[in-house]
Amino acid sequence: MNGTLAQQYKKTALRLLTALLFAIVANFSLGSVTHAADFNLQTVREQLDAIRDSFDNTENRLKQDTLRDSDFTFLRDRINPLRSEIRNKIADLEPRYAEVQKRLGELGPAPKDGAPPEDVRITAERTTQTKLLADLDSALKQARLLNVRGDQLADQIDAGRRTRFKERLLTRSESALNPALWLNAAKEAPAEIRSLGNLLSNWKDYAADSAPAGALLLSAIVIIALIVAVFLTRQMLLRYLDRRARKGEVLQTRRSLDAYLAICRTVIDAAAPPFAVFAAISILSAFDLISPRIDRLTNGILVAVAIFSIGCGVARAMVEPAKRILGFSNAPAYKLYRAAASAVAVVAAATLLFALHRELGATAPLRTATAALMALLVGLCVGRALMIRSEGDKGGGLPNLVRLLGWVAVGAIFIALAMGHINLAAFAAARLVDAAVIGGAGVLILALIDSVFATGFSEEGTGRRRVASAIGINPARLDLLATITAGLLRALLVVIVLFLMIGGWRTSVTDVASMLDRFDLALTIGQSQLALGNLLLAIALLIVGLIITRIVHRWLSQTVLPRTSLDAGLQNSISTMFVYLGAIAAALLALGQIGINLQNIAFVAGALSVGIGFGLQSVVSNFVSGIILLAERPLRVGDMIEVKGESGYVRRISVRSTEIETFDRANVIIPNSDLVTNVVTNWTHANTLGRIKLDITVAYDSSPEKVREILLRAAAGHPKVLKTPAPSVLLSAFGDNGLKFQLFAYVGDVNVGGGIRSDLYFEVLKQFREETIEIPLSRDYRDFGAKDSPPQQAERKADIET
């Protein structure tokens, strides 16, 4: 007994010792994990503290009144990476926080007083997880607060940039018609020239002190050699392209080849001058021959050269499209090119002058005069381009819409100059040139997309089968795929071009949008306010939505759907439904922009449904019936139908009515409700197979078998009568004046059944006369007809007497 108790005590002591050792090891392991987690959280806290300090510095900088646009751009570029880092921290902390929370839920609450004790390992883990949860919650809250603060700082920076932009753009000075503007600029010009001379002199002294004469000579030789190499490479690339084009190694069609060569030449011409200038500046920097002040001018020089080369390259490439699209001859096309190149040169020169003004510290009158001169010259160049017309055609030239918008822009520039808004006029002039260059580049790329996908993948394209085999589709479907791809690329190109036109090279999209902040008028309706800006934006959204819907509908109905295997009726249904869905979507977007709740619209519509039901019952009925017709498609465009005594072909199905063209070429408009509620005979819905029937009467003394044989032979001999089902002849009745037969024949297209019936009548009549089978006259005709033979007259007289 004592031995048994001693063994039990030993086992119990061994279990307690094992549990204690396990608890120590577990505590050590959890402590290591907790230490690692604390170390990671500590790193996160340190990073968040550094971000908070950076936000504090940014906020203090924003309180200064001397910030320029470049300062706002620097601050925005400084906090944007920090905002991204904060969002990444939140994304990392949230799943860890949720995981620890879930772990604590699995462990459960601590046991209450008087409850049985729990395992020490569970208690230690609960304590550890509770502390970790508190630390994670603290770090997560700090990150979320910093995220909100970062968004607020970004809004403040954008608001500051908009404010500075408006102040600079709307600042009023002397009118361009005021001689004082030009006289003050002329007075300040000598000082500017002397400052430029000093700058060049200092650059010369710096270069002489920084490098020996041999280095100067070597750098000059290298720069000249490099410029020559750049332009020789340009000529070699152009010749290489021409050689490949002549060999047919680029694209197979002439249209796509011209577009491809135009874009390649534009890219080469636009890239060569900036690359040469950049290489020259890099060589001078390598030899330490650029002074700090000149180094600050290099960006302005590069931008000016890039504007000039890109603009002139695009204008030169647009010469051929101007000849082809606008019908210009060589002389008007090159006049248009020279006007566009002159405007681009003015903007490039102004960009370089503004860079010099900033570095030389030019006075306000000189900067204002430079802006006014640039706006004036650009306006004159654009006006000269708008007046160019094709030779021999008084109505030729640029499209009327482009001409109208151009004259509006030129008029706005001149009016702004006359009213003293010089900066606004300069901004509009520069943006006008930017938009023309970007639009020209977009036209070139659009021409390449259309030519490649419209012609390169068509039936005539020699690479069509090779491309279809490469991507693993049926060559017959490649044309449809190319059409859809071209449409998507065109839409993407339009979006990119519009974004570049709005954004430009020197300001952001928010700067232009901020101009609407001046229109803060609001109309109060009940408890709601309708801002003028929101109303204008809603109207713009509605108009743009309807225009886009119309464009896409035309593209679907004229380009995409005809290339599919769908029948004409289904194509019409798809295109019509798209129009109504697009219009509804545009209307909903416009209503949402002005703050109208769609639930309120539904409530009002429900309240007015009774009145609408009585007043517009027929309209609503026709509308619902039109939706049913488009969805169920019992009728299709081109079907031959008969309804309410009218027969003809379905030409158009809308949501209110259906248009039928009768056999007399008259258009009959039938409400859709009549087509849904009445009996409609559709001869060609399932297929065009139909049956024609000929009613023929012969004399009683005719052989029925012979008549049957003639009728079947006539039907079998017609090429458009189907062999299966075979024609059949029935003796239908004994008539008053002869035997009545019916010939039934099936045709593949019921639309030509009338002509086939006529042909069969001709053939039957011919064979009856050959076989001397008589077609009896009716009794009425014999009674009232004239010129009977004497025996017939005697017989008639006897019949009358009887």
Q: Where in the chain is the domain with CATH 3.30.70.100?
A: 690-784
For the ranges 92-106, 109-123, 593-607, the maximum mean pLDDT occurs at 92-106
Give the Å distances, CA to CA, from 727 to 686, 692, 719, 771, 774.
Answer: 22, 10, 13, 21, 23
Higher local confidence (pLDDT), 425 or 447: 425
Cβ density class 740-764: b for 16+ within 10 Å, e for less: bbebbbbbeebeebeebbebbeebb
Q: Which SS3 state, helix, strand or coil, does residue 695 take?
A: strand
Q: What is the DSSP string of 207-253?
A: HHHHS-HHHHHHHHHHHHHHHHHHHHHHHHHHHHHHHHHHHT-S-SS
Would you state the structure tokens that stand for residue 41, as one six-digit string?
């959280």
Element (H, E) at 788: none
Element (H, E) at 421: none
Distance CA 667, CA 673 (A): 18
Q: Helix crossing, 617-632 with 568-593: angle to 10°?
A: 130
pLDDT at 698: 92
Residue 25's pLDDT band, with cuts at 50, 70 and 90, is very low
pLDDT at 192: 87
Distance CA 490, CA 448 (A): 10
Q: What is the DSSP string of 363-410?
A: -HHHHHHHHHHHHHHHHHHHHHHHT---TT-TT-SS-HHHHHHHHHHH
Contact call for residues 434 and 505 (beta carbons, < 8 A): yes
Q: Where are the beta strands (DSSP E) in 30-151?
A: none
- Residue 698's DSSP bridge partners are 739
Q: What is the pLDDT of residues 744-755, one digit of tens each?
A: 998 888 778 888
Q: What is the DSSP string of 273-330?
A: HHHHHHHHHHHHHHTT---HHHHHHHHHHHHHHHHHHHHHHHHHHTHHHHHHHS---H
Contact call for residues 363 and 369 (beta carbons, < 8 A): no
Q: What is the DSSP string of 428-457?
A: HHHHHHHHHHHHHHHHHHHHHHHHIIIIIT
pLDDT at 802: 53
**pTM for this structure?**
0.57
Average pLDDT over the chain, rounded to an integer? 76
- Summarize the confidence of residues 226-243 as an average pLDDT: 80
Taking the domain 690-784, which CATH number applies? Answer: 3.30.70.100
Range of lowest pLDDT (115-119, 220-224, 529-533): 529-533
Contacts with 534 (C-beta within 8 Å, 6 or more apart), sequence order: 593, 594, 595
Contact call for residues 100 and 137 (beta carbons, < 8 A): no
Share of the chain above pLDDT 90, in %: 5
Higher local confidence (pLDDT), 41 or 505: 41
pLDDT at 28: 40
Q: What is the pLDDT of residues 258-315, one digit of tens each?
A: 667 777 788 888 888 888 888 888 888 887 788 888 888 888 888 899 889 988 888 8
Residue 29's pLDDT band, with cuts at 50, 70 and 90, is very low
Q: What is the DSSP string of 578-629?
A: HHHHHHHHHHHHHHHHTT--HHHHHHHHHHTHHHHHHHTHHHHHHHHHHHHH
Any idea which residue has 């190149």 for tokens?
Answer: 341
Distance CA 613, CA 616 (A): 6
pLDDT at 517: 43
Give the Å distances, CA to CA, from 33 to 39, 100, 421, 799.
Answer: 10, 13, 68, 129
Residue 792's pLDDT band, with cuts at 50, 70 and 90, is low
Q: In 10 A of CB 257, how many CB atoms?
A: 20
Would you state the structure tokens that stand for residue 691, as one six-digit string?
């049956």
Range of lowest pLDDT (92-101, 285-294, 526-535, 779-788): 779-788
Q: Which SS3 state, helix, strand or coil, does residue 790 take?
A: helix
Cβ density class 552-566: b for 16+ within 10 Å, e for less: bbebbbeebbeeeee
In this model, does residue 607 exceed pLDDT 80? no
- Summarize the confidence of residues 575-581 as an average pLDDT: 77
Distance CA 685, CA 343 (A): 62
pLDDT at 32: 40
Distance CA 10, CA 653 (A): 97
pLDDT at 377: 93
Q: Which SS3 state, helix, strand or coil, does residue 649 take?
A: strand
Element (H, E) at 767: helix 753-770
For the ranges 374-378, 385-389, 568-572, the maximum mean pLDDT occurs at 374-378
Distance CA 135, CA 35 (A): 12
Distance CA 453, CA 556 (A): 16
In this model, does residue 492 exceed pLDDT 60? yes
In this model, does residue 518 exceed pLDDT 50? no
Q: Which SS3 state, helix, strand or coil, does residue 531 take?
A: strand
For the ranges 61-75, 87-101, 605-619, 661-675, the maximum mean pLDDT occurs at 87-101
Cα-to-chain-centroid distance, residue 440: 18
Alpha carbons within 13 A on the beta-carbon side of 622: 14
Higher local confidence (pLDDT), 597 or 73: 73
